[in-house]
Structure 1
Amino acid sequence: MKGVFNMDFPLGDLQSICREFRIGDLIAVEGRLGGFVNTNLKIKTEKGLFVIRIYGEKFEPQRIHYAHDIISILRSSNVPALMPIQNKFENYYSTYNDHFIEVTPFVQANHFQWIPNQAYFSGIMLRKMHQTLMHVKKDPPPRQSIYDYYNWSVLDDMSKLQPLYNWTNQNILDIYQINELILNNSRNLESVSIDLPTTILHGDWHPGNQLYKKNGEVCCILDFDSIQRGECVFDVAYALYFYLLKDKSEALGKPFLQGYGVLSEQEQMVLPVMIAKLGLFFGSFINKGDLEFSKQKELVEWVLSQEGIKTLQDMLRPDIAR
Structure 2
Amino acid sequence: MDYPFHDLQSICREYDIGDFISAEGKLGGYVNTNIKIRTKKGFFVIRIYREKFDPERIHYAHEIVSILRSFNLPALLPLKNKLGSYFSTYNDYFIEVTPFIDAHHFQWLPKQAYFSGSMLRNMHQTLLTTHKDPPTRESIYHFYNWHVLDDAPKLQLLYNWTPQHMAQIYHINNLIQKHIQHLESFPENLPTTILHGDWNPGNQLYQASGEVCCILDFDSIQRGECVFDVAYALYFFLLKDKGKFLVKPFIQGYGGLSEQEQSVLPSMIAKLGLFFGSFINKGDLAFTKQQKLVEWVLSPEGVKVLQERG
What TM-score, normalized to structure 2? 0.95
Write the letter of the residue equivalent to 1:260.
Answer: Y
Tell me the equivalent position of 1:158. Answer: 152
Tell me the equivalent position of 1:222. Answer: 216
Pair 1:99 & 2:93 matched: yes
CA positional deviation for 1:228: 1.0
**1:51-107, CA deviations, whole angstroms, 9 ceiling, x for partnerless residues?**
000011111111111000000000000110000000011000011111111000000
Decide which of 11, 14, 18 is 2:12's aligned counterpart: 18
Decide which of 162, 166, 188 is 1:168's aligned counterpart: 162
CA positional deviation for 1:250: 4.4
C-alpha distance in structure 2 between counterparts of 1:288 and 1:169, whole Å: 18
Change (3 A) 1:10 1:163: farther
Pair 1:199 & 2:193 matched: yes
C-alpha distance in structure 2 between counterparts of 1:117 and 1:283, whole Å: 29
C-alpha distance in structure 2 between counterparts of 1:218 and 1:74, whole Å: 14
CA positional deviation for 1:259: 0.5
**1:285-319, CA deviations, whole angstroms, 9 ceiling, x for partnerless residues?**
111111111000110011111121122223xx22x
Q: Is the 8 A contact 1:161 1:284 kept in 2?
A: no
Write the letter of the residue equivalent to 1:266.
Answer: Q
Decide which of 291, 301, 307 is 1:307's aligned counterpart: 301
Q: Is the 8 A contact 1:93 1:100 kept in 2?
A: yes
**1:8-33, CA deviations, whole angstroms, 9 ceiling, x for partnerless residues?**
x3111111111111111211111111
Tell me the equivalent position of 2:260. Answer: 266
- The DSSP-based 3-state class of the residue aligned with 1:88 is coil
CA positional deviation for 1:262: 2.0
Change (3 A) 1:141 1:301: farther
Q: Does 250-259 or 183-192 show the bigger shift? A: 183-192
Pair 1:38 & 2:32 matched: yes
Decide which of 239, 245, 256 is 1:251's aligned counterpart: 245
Q: Is the 8 A contact 1:111 1:211 kept in 2?
A: yes
C-alpha distance in structure 1 between counterparts of 2:282 and 2:86, whole Å: 33
Kindly tell me the number of residue pairs found equivalent between the two proteins.
310
CA positional deviation for 1:126: 0.4
CA positional deviation for 1:135: 1.1
Which residues of structure 2 form unaligned runs of 5+? none
CA positional deviation for 1:161: 4.1
Change (3 A) 1:178 1:206: same
Change (3 A) 1:111 1:180: same
Change (3 A) 1:90 1:120: same
C-alpha distance in structure 1 between counterparts of 2:243 and 2:188, whole Å: 30
C-alpha distance in structure 1 between counterparts of 2:205 and 2:273, whole Å: 24
C-alpha distance in structure 2 between counterparts of 1:297 and 1:210, whole Å: 27
Change (3 A) 1:194 1:279: same
CA positional deviation for 1:249: 6.5
Pair 1:90 & 2:84 matched: yes
Q: Percent identity?
A: 71
Q: Does 124-133 or 9-18 show the bigger shift? A: 9-18
Q: Is the 8 A contact 1:121 1:217 kept in 2?
A: yes
Q: Is the 8 A contact 2:80 2:86 kept in 1?
A: yes
Tell me the equivalent position of 2:291. Answer: 297
Q: Is the 8 A contact 2:266 2:297 kept in 1?
A: yes
**1:185-229, CA deviations, whole angstroms, 9 ceiling, x for partnerless residues?**
224669644220000000000011000000100000000001111
C-alpha distance in structure 2 between counterparts of 1:44 and 1:163, whole Å: 44
**1:141-166, CA deviations, whole angstroms, 9 ceiling, x for partnerless residues?**
44221111242112333256434553
Q: Does 171-180 or 108-117 show the bigger shift? A: 171-180
